[in-house]
Amino acid sequence: MVRGGAAYLFYGEEDFLKKEASEKIISSCLNSETRKLNYDVYSAKDNYADILTSLKSLPFLSDKRVILVRDVETFPEFRKKELLESLKKISNHLCIIFHTKKPVLSDG
């Protein structure tokens, strides 16, 4: 099981490999019963406020909550910086996974 707050960035053109790696993490955090209540999937095209709300939400009937955000490279630069700042304060119950075609999050 993933312990503490965790953030993962999977990048590259091969969606299958990103999905496979993510599934291993998700399965280590959530069982089939808690998955429906504690697993959210977003695209960068979704409402950014919904993503932030999900980051602040507590898990329900589970120790963990998992959030997957796809297409991170399409976020405007200021959104990427906001996300990076939010990762500095990641809660112990949260596991967030980012998918992108190229590495896009850095604090430098």
User: What is the predicted pLDDT for the residue at 80?
Assistant: 83
Average pLDDT over residues 94-104: 87
pLDDT-derived band of residue 91, with 50, 70 and 90 as boundaries?
Answer: confident
Q: Which fold has domain 6-100?
A: Rossmann fold (3.40.50)
Rounded Cα gap, residues 11 and 31, in angstroms: 25
pLDDT tens per residue, range 28-73: 999 999 999 999 999 988 888 898 889 889 999 999 999 999 998 8
Which pTM was predicted? Answer: 0.86
Who has greater pLDDT, 98 or 107? 98
User: What is the predicted pLDDT for the residue at 94?
Assistant: 94
CB 51 within 8 A of CB 35: no
Q: What are phi and psi of 61, to 5 degrees?
A: 55, 35
Can you give the residue ranges of every domain in the chain?
6-100
